[in-house]
């Protein structure tokens, strides 16, 4: 793909972000698919007409092996394919707890009032939020939610761990918009919390939002 197919500023943002994640946070990064011109709009480089995440998913089954924690390697990757989405493999430096956006903001406000330790948090155009926690969280998330008195599936909460990924800012997902930071990575949140520290407020917020949604339909 030619860099000229995307605005120069956009290309530089993706490259700079990928390099910064490796050098400042020591996170692995992986280039994903990208958006290509198609008629009056853009389509995903995967070629699927009904792609669920246009320009923002892995390029193939072996994608994880192509991830790097080297800033120099990341710079080469995004220089070669400058419009590639920035994917962060989970199960390495961090896992994530994925929740509906409305519940995420509710929980975030509560956890800040409680002075709980918080890591970075992303928000996606499809109105989901991902709370970064220490690795190993995904394997025990459902059990922790069940112990708190909820069913993870029914309240829309899930762990994202080994073999999966989160889409990193400033990646755009089709025409829906860009992934953003709800809480940016900073020196203050370099040390991530254990999932046990956050699961209570997150499960409560998800349960409350799910109950409100059911009540609105009745």
pLDDT of 146-198, one tens digit each?
A: 999 999 999 999 999 999 999 999 999 998 999 999 999 999 999 999 999 99
**Per-residue pLDDT band at 12 (split at 50, 70, 90):** confident
Predicted pLDDT at 6: 52
Q: Is the pLDDT of residue 5 over 70?
A: no
Q: What are phi and psi of 55, to 5 degrees?
A: 70, 20
Q: What is the pLDDT of residues 20-74, one digit of tens each?
A: 999 999 999 999 999 998 876 789 999 998 999 999 999 999 999 999 999 999 9
Q: In the structure encoding, which two tokens stand for residue 150, read together?
A: 């909820």
What contacts 198, CB < 8 A, 6 or more positions away? Answer: 97, 107, 111, 116, 118, 131, 133
Q: Please, what sign has the CA dihedral across residues 158, 61, 48, 2?
A: positive
Q: Which helix (H) or strand (E) holds 68?
A: none
Q: If DSSP codes are grouped into helix, strand and coil, which group holds residue 71?
A: helix
**Per-residue pLDDT band at 7 (split at 50, 70, 90):** low
Radius of gyration of the chain (CA): 18
Q: In the structure encoding, which two tokens stand for residue 170, read together?
A: 């400033």
Count Cβ atoms below 10 Å from residue 60 Cβ, excluding itself: 9
In this prediction the pTM is 0.92
């Amino acid at each position: 793909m030619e860099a000229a197919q995307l605005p120069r500023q956009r290309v530089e943002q993706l490259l700079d972000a990928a390099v910064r994640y490796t050098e400042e946070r020591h996170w692995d990064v992986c280039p994903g698919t990208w958006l290509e011109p198609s008629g009056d709009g853009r389509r995903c480089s995967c070629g699927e007409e009904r792609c669920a995440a246009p320009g923002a998913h892995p390029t193939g089954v072996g994608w994880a092996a192509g991830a790097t924690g080297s800033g120099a390697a990341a710079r080469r990757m995004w220089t070669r394919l400058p419009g590639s989405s920035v994917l962060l493999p989970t199960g390495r430096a961090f896992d994530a707890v994925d929740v509906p956006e409305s519940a995420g903001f509710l929980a975030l406000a509560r956890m800040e009032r409680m002075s709980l330790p918080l890591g970075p948090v992303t928000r996606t155009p499809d109105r989901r939020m991902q709370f970064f926690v220490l690795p190993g969280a995904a394997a025990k998330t459902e059990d922790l939610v069940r112990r708190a008195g909820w069913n993870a599936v029914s309240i829309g909460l899930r762990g994202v761990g080994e073999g999966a990924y989160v889409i990193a800012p400033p990646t755009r997902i089709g025409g829906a918009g860009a992934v953003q930071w709800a809480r940016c990575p900073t020196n203050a949140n370099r040390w991530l919390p254990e999932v046990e520290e956050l699961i209570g407020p997150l499960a409560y917020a998800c349960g409350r939002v799910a109950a409100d949604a059911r009540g609105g339909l009745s």
